[in-house]
Homo-oligomer: A and B are copies of this chain.
Amino acid sequence: MDPIVVVGGDAAGMSAASKFKREQPDRDVVVFEKGEYVSYAACGMPYYVKGSVEEFDDLLQVAPEEFIEERDIDLRLHHEVVAIDTDAHEVTVESPSGTSTQPYDQLLVATGARAIEPPFDGMDLDGVYTMHSLDSAKAVRNAMETHEPESVAVVGGGYVGIEMAEAFAEHDTVVHLFEMLPHVLAPFGEMVGEKVEAHLRDEGVELHLETAVDGFDGSGGHVETLVADESTYDVDLVLVGVGVAPNAELAAEAGIELGETGAIATDEFGRTSAPDVFAAGDCAEARHVVTGEPDYVPLALTANRAGRAIGQTMAGDETPVGDIAGTAAVKAFDLEAARTGIIDEETAREAGFDPVSVTISSTSRAHYYPGAKPIHITMLGDRDSNRVLGAAMVGHEGVAKRVDTVAAALHTETTVEELSYFDLSYAPPVSPTWDPVLTTAKVLNGKLD
Contact = CB atoms under 8 A, between A and B. Distances in A.
A418 interface: yes
A347 B255 CA distance: 56
A168 to B, nearest CB: 17
A31 interface: no
A249 to B, nearest CB: 26
B369 A423 contact: no
B329 A431 contact: yes
A410 B366 CA distance: 25
A434 to B, nearest CB: 7
A350 B302 CA distance: 38
Interface string A122-149: 0000000000000000000000000000
A428 interface: yes
A385 to B, nearest CB: 15
Interface in A282-328: 289, 299-302, 304-305, 320, 322-328
Interface of A: 11, 41, 43-44, 47, 52-53, 58-59, 159, 289, 299-302, 304-305, 320, 322-331, 336, 338, 340, 366, 368-370, 398-405, 407-412, 414, 418-419, 421-431, 433-435, 437-438
Given A330-B427, A405-B405, A411-B422, 20 more contacts: A43-B366, A43-B428, A44-B366, A44-B369, A159-B427, A300-B433, A305-B421, A320-B421, A325-B423, A327-B423, A329-B427, A329-B430, A400-B425, A400-B430, A400-B431, A404-B437, A408-B414, A408-B419, A411-B421, A412-B412
19 contacts: A44-B368, A301-B433, A304-B433, A320-B421, A322-B421, A329-B427, A329-B430, A331-B429, A400-B425, A401-B404, A404-B404, A404-B425, A405-B405, A407-B423, A408-B409, A408-B414, A409-B412, A411-B418, A411-B423
